[in-house]
Amino acid sequence: MILYNLNLDEVNQLTKYLSELIYAPMIIGFTGDLGTGKTQFIKSLLNNYIKDEIVKSPTFSLIEEYSSKEYDFIHMDLYRVSDREIIEMGITDNFSNRAICLIEWVEKNTFLMNKIDIHIKIKFVNNETRSFEFFALNQKCTPLIEKLSIKFKK
pLDDT at 145: 94
Evaluate whether 11 touches 130 at the Cβ level (below 8 Å): yes
User: Could you give the 3-state DSSP secondary structure of residue 40?
Assistant: helix
Find residue 102's DSSP bridge partners: 28, 75
- Summarize the confidence of residues 75-93 as an average pLDDT: 83
Name the percent of the chain lying above pLDDT 70: 99
Question: How large is the average pLDDT for residues 116-120?
Answer: 96
**pTM value?**
0.93
Supply the pLDDT for residue 154.
Answer: 62
Q: Give me the pLDDT at residue 94, please.
A: 66
CB-based contact 76:4 (threshold 8 Å) = no
User: Taking Cα atoms as reference points, which of 147, 151, 121 lies closest to residue 134?
Assistant: 121
Choose between 30 and 80: higher pLDDT: 30
| H or E segment and range at residue 45 | helix 38-46
Please, which residues bridge with residue 99 across strands? 72
For each of the domains in the chain, give its residue range(s) and CATH number, in order of start.
2-133+143-151 (3.40.50.300)
Of 54-63, 104-113, 141-150, the one with minimum mean pLDDT is: 54-63
